[in-house]
Every structure is written in C-alpha cells, then in structure tokens.
C-alpha cells in the first residue's frame, strides 16, 4: 500500500493525473501488470493527454527506479500525444535496447547452432572454429528480426494494443528510425560473420544468408508481409529450424549427415510452436488490425491442437534421428517440461495467460538442445 502511494505521489508531481486503465511495469523478463492502491492504470491522463509510463528494470527484472519527476523528454506520436517518459541515465537507456532485442527469443537461435554443430562430433575433418561464427550469424539474425518486427509493426500500428512484452516503437521508447537502424545493424553483423563462413567453406552460403535476411525483414516488413498472410510458421520452420541447423553442420563438416535434417526438424517444430503461441495470444487484436496470421486463419481451437502437434513432432523427430545417432534419445528427457505448456494451451489459456506458455515452450527447446548436445559430446 505504501509503495503504491509513493508512486502515485511521484507521478502526481509531473502533472494532474487520473488513472483510467492499468499501470504496466515492463521488466527485463515479462510484461507484469500491476494494480497499485486498487488503481487499475495503464493509460494515464496528463492534462487531457494520454501517456504510458514505463519503469525501466535491471537485469534481474527488479525496478531500477520508480516513477519520479526526473523522468524526462516524452516523445510525441503523430497526433501530438506524449507517448512515454524515460529517465536520462545512460545505463537505463541502453536497457531499452536490450528489452527490444527480446533476450528470451535468443535460445531459439542458439539451439539450432548447437544441435547442428554436435552432429560433427566423432566425424573426421571438422572445423570447430566455424561454431562461434555460426552462433554470431544466428543470434544477430534473431536480434535483427526482432528489431525489424518491432519497427514494421510499430509503424503500422499493429502493436498499439499489445498483451505481451514491450515494443520500442509502439511504446515510444525509441523512434521508428532508430529501431530500423538497429535492425539493419544487426543484419549487418550477421552478414559479416556469414561472409567469413562463406569464404572458408562455400560461396553458396552467401545466397542462403541473403535469403535469411530477406525472410527476416519481409516477415512483417514491406508492402505485403508474409507474416500477415499466415506464412510465418513455414518460414520460421525453414530458416530457424532447417537452415540454422543444417547450415551449422555444413560449415563445421562441409557435408550433411542424415541426423542434421531430423534435428533441424525437431528444433524447427519447437520454434514454430513458439510463434503459434505468440499468435494464439494475439488473435483478438490481430483480427482487428487485419493481420491474417495462421492462428487467425485456423481459428483458436485448431491452433491449440496445432501447437500440440508441433511439440509432438519435435520429439518424434528426435526418435527418428536416434536411428543414426542413438545418443539423441537423451533429448526425450525434456518431455515432462512440455506437459505444463500443453495442458495450459488445451485448457483454453488466452491473452496474458499464454505468456508462461511462451516461456515454457522456450524452456523445452533449450532443455532438448542442452541434453542432446551434452549427450553427444560425452558419448562421441
């Protein structure tokens, strides 16, 4: 109760305020909705203008500082409403870019590299120096895609009413121009690391890299984004599953054993399950803005079953891969981690209740990757 009063008084020093929705505290981990002193306030009226207050957080997800009169310079959107207040401390200003990069999505980029690389364990002629370069490519592409989506959805206005974590452009934490530059910078880092890999192995990798960057940008960018037409899951499976895994195997080994294709299928299915969960959460708002994701096209009920099929497909692929690499079966130990997310999806979880499902699905993917990589190294 006292904490709420302190925040209310601090905010009150900025100007006359009446709370009419929810105060949302954005943390490094999740979007945590907090009612303070019984006040349900996200949108705050300040002298007849609407603004969103975002309290920046440290790496442990705790508040770095409370609302205070030291919050400065609010950016204005196209109709002149102040959109956000942000403190001027450089550390916190850097943190907004960390939040915008969506660190929780990075395992989805790292796991395929790990799985693809360990296929080379026990094989002759492996170049292990390619692994860190492949990781840089995958992580930079993932961050670039995250910033690109933030930019494109932000300028289209499809992120204005989000349920999930903060978005830089939609919340006003950064201008669209800066977020676009961040996306291109990330893609540039991926391109440079990819060029080194191509020069060391095969120049055909340049075409694969270019296709990956274009797929990342046009997911929500361009005049006809394919993510808005229901093809997002297909491209996620191809580029964040097969291409990332098989490509990692190729740069290390310069050949493609059968196991790498099945491991790519396994992690690609889980990456799709992450996207399906995200789109299932956003079905109501996506319908309103004309975003025809696969979840919107399938409908809520069939999307829930599709999620289960994808998770099951991931473990079935591990079983198939075990016929050539028996140690891959250790990945099945992750099955219990999938029970809770599946139960939540099938029980009708929606909106904010699907945020733990996203975290749980990401955990499954990470555990599968860790188990298979560890078992392969130990046995191999």
- Pick from 213, 219, 220, 222: which is nearest to 188 by CA? 213
- For residues 289 and 284, the model is more confident at 284
Which tens digits make up the pLDDT trace of 315-374?
999 999 999 999 999 999 999 999 999 999 999 998 888 989 999 999 999 999 999 999
For strands 43-46 and 49-53, give the pairing. antiparallel
Q: How far apart are CA 252 and CA 85, in angstroms?
A: 47
Query: Are the beta carbons of 119 and 259 closer than 8 angstroms?
Result: yes
Three-state secondary structure call for residue 16: coil
Using the structure block, give the residue that is written with the tokens 């789109």. 279
pTM: 0.75
Ordered structural domains, the chain, with CATH = 2-88 (no CATH), 97-379 (1.10.600)
Which tens digits make up the pLDDT trace of 205-217?
999 999 999 999 9
* Residue 72 pLDDT greater than 80, yes or no: no
Query: Are the beta carbons of 274 and 361 closer than 8 angstroms?
Result: yes
């Amino acid at each position: 109760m006292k904490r709420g009063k302190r925040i209310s008084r601090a905010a009150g020093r900025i100007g006359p305020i009446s709370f009419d929705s929810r105060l949302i505290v954005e943390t490094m981990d999740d979007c945590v909705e907090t009612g303070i002193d019984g006040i349900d306030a996200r949108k705050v009226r300040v002298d007849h203008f609407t603004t969103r207050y975002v309290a920046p957080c440290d790496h442990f997800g705790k508040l770095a500082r409370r609302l205070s009169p030291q919050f400065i310079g609010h950016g204005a959107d196209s109709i002149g409403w102040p959109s956000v207040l942000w403190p001027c401390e450089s550390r916190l200003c850097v943190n907004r870019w960390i939040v915008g990069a969506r660190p929780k999505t990075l395992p989805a980029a790292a796991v395929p590299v790990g799985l693809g690389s360990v296929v080379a364990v026990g094989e002759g002629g492996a170049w292990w120096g390619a692994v860190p370069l492949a990781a840089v490519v995958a992580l930079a592409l993932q961050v670039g895609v995250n910033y690109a989506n933030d930019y494109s959805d932000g300028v289209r206005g499809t992120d204005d009413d989000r349920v999930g974590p903060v978005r830089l452009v939609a919340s006003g934490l950064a201008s669209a121009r800066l977020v676009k530059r961040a996306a291109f910078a990330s893609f540039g880092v991926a391109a440079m690391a990819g060029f080194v890999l191509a020069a060391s192995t095969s120049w055909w990798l340049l075409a694969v890299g270019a296709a990956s960057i274009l797929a990342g940008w046009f997911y929500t960018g361009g005049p006809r984004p394919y993510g808005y037409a229901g093809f997002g899951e297909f491209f996620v499976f191809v580029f964040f599953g097969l291409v990332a895994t098989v490509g990692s195997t190729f740069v290390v080994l310069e050949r493609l054993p059968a196991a790498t294709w099945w491991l790519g299928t396994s992690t690609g299915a889980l990456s799709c399950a992450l996207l399906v969960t995200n789109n299932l959460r956003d079905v109501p708002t996506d319908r309103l803005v004309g975003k025809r994701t696969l979840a919107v096209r399938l409908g809520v009920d069939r999307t829930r079953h599709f999620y289960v099929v994808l998770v099951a497909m991931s473990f079935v692929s591990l079983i198939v891969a075990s016929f050539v690499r028996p140690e891959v079966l250790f990945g099945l130990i992750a099955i219990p981690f999938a029970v809770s997310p599946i139960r939540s999806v099938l029980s009708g979880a929606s909106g904010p209740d699907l945020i733990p499902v996203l975290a749980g699905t990401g955990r499954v993917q990470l555990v599968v990757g860790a188990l298979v990589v560890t078992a392969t190294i130990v046995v191999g």
